[in-house]
């Protein structure tokens, strides 16, 4: 039997830096955490949207807007509208091709559910989806979905109107308007109507972010959204951007692209003439 001194010496040796005994005893496979799906986004939102202050709230808008812009850059959309609703939700509509609604062979999910619930899924990694694109490359929309109390998507494609809703990235059905309506989990894309003749294809997304994932006081900055939309319009001269908010409506269309941007940023003529040579 070991004496009290021997026991204390053994404990000291185990606790000594570099000792393999303390490592094996206190750190094992059960101490490793594997976050699946969108859990990682909710656990560390700043890793996916850059920050959890007001900039992060605005970044959610940017990610959805960038997806619609990709359709414009690819030549499939001519109009993108951003609506900042009074209830705090954000809506982005475009007249592009619409998110694919057919079933993805490997996952068994519709294209809509795949890109909105799986990280690193989308048309930006090859194939014929996009030659150039912005955003987080398959993370943006699903990250927004993960942080949203409610996320609604409407896709107009193939002569039909398709709809799907999510709560924190989980597909289902809301029994009424707004994020507080009763929610029933339910997978699958729903066909809710026919696309009338003359109506354009496209995608509409509306989401309500959850403030719990952001710092206290973090809020959407309307002026920052306006700047983002205007700057995007400079870069995509073939698309008209419309921003609707509580103060009114702003329309941005710059057919001359960067030339219009230079003219916009240049100081007034009177200021130029008064500047020292």
- pLDDT tens profile 106-159: 778 889 999 999 886 655 444 444 444 444 344 789 999 999 999 999 999 999
pLDDT at 271: 52
Is 160 or 118 the better-scoring residue by pLDDT?
160
Q: Quick: pLDDT tens for 77-95.
A: 999 999 999 999 999 999 9
pLDDT at 198: 78
Q: Quick: pLDDT tens for 36-89.
A: 678 889 999 999 999 999 999 999 999 999 999 999 999 999 999 999 999 999
* Lowest mean per-residue pLDDT among 2-11, 118-127, 188-197, 258-267: 2-11
Q: Are 201 and 96 in contact (CB under 8 A)?
A: yes
pLDDT at 138: 45
Question: What is the CB neighbour count within 10 angstroms for residue 113?
Answer: 23
Report yes or no on whether pTM surpasses 0.95: no
pLDDT at 236: 97
Domains of the chain: 39-222 (3.30.565.10)
Average pLDDT over residues 235-264: 96
Q: Quick: pLDDT tens for 192-236.
A: 999 988 789 999 999 999 999 999 999 999 999 999 999 999 999
pLDDT at 124: 46
pLDDT at 208: 98
DSSP assignment of 217-275 equals T----HHHHHHHHHHHHHH-TT-EEEEEETTEEEEE--TTTHHHHHHHHSPPHHHHHHS
Q: Quick: pLDDT tens for 169-186.
A: 999 999 999 999 999 999
The yes-or-no verdict on residue 25 having pLDDT over 80 is no
The Cα 78–Cα 233 span in angstroms is 11
Q: Rounded to whole angstroms, what are the CA distances from 86 to 31, 208, 242, 247?
A: 45, 11, 17, 11
The yes-or-no verdict on residue 99 having pLDDT over 80 is yes
Tokens of 186: 């339910």
């Amino acid at each position: 039997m070991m004496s009290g001194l021997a026991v204390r010496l053994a404990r000291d040796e185990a606790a000594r830096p570099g000792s393999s005994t303390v490592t094996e005893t206190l750190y094992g496979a059960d101490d490793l955490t594997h976050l699946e799906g969108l859990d990682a986004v909710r656990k560390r939102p700043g890793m996916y949207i850059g920050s959890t202050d007001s900039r992060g709230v605005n970044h959610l808008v940017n990610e959805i807007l960038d997806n619609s812009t990709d359709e414009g850059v690819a030549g499939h959309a001519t109009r993108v509208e951003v609506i900042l609703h009074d209830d705090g939700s954000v809506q982005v509509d475009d007249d592009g091709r619409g998110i694919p609604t057919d079933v993805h062979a490997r996952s068994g999910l519709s294209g809509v559910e795949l890109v909105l619930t799986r990280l690193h899924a989308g048309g930006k990694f090859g194939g014929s989806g996009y030659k150039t694109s912005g955003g987080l490359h398959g993370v943006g929309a699903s990250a927004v979905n993960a942080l949203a109390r409610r996320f609604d998507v409407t896709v107009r494609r193939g002569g039909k109107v398709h709809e799907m809703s999510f709560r924190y990235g989980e597909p289902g059905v809301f029994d009424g308007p707004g994020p507080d309506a009763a929610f029933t989990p339910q997978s699958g894309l729903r066909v809710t109507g026919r696309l009338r003749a003359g109506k354009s294809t496209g995608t509409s997304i509306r989401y309500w972010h959850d403030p719990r994932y952001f710092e206290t006081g973090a809020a959407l900055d309307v002026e920052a959204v306006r700047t983002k939309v205007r700057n995007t319009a400079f870069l995509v001269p073939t698309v008209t951007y419309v921003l609707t908010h509580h103060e009114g409506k702003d329309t941005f269309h710059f057919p001359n692209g960067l030339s219009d941007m230079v003219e916009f940023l240049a100081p007034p003529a009177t200021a130029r003439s008064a500047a020292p040579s």
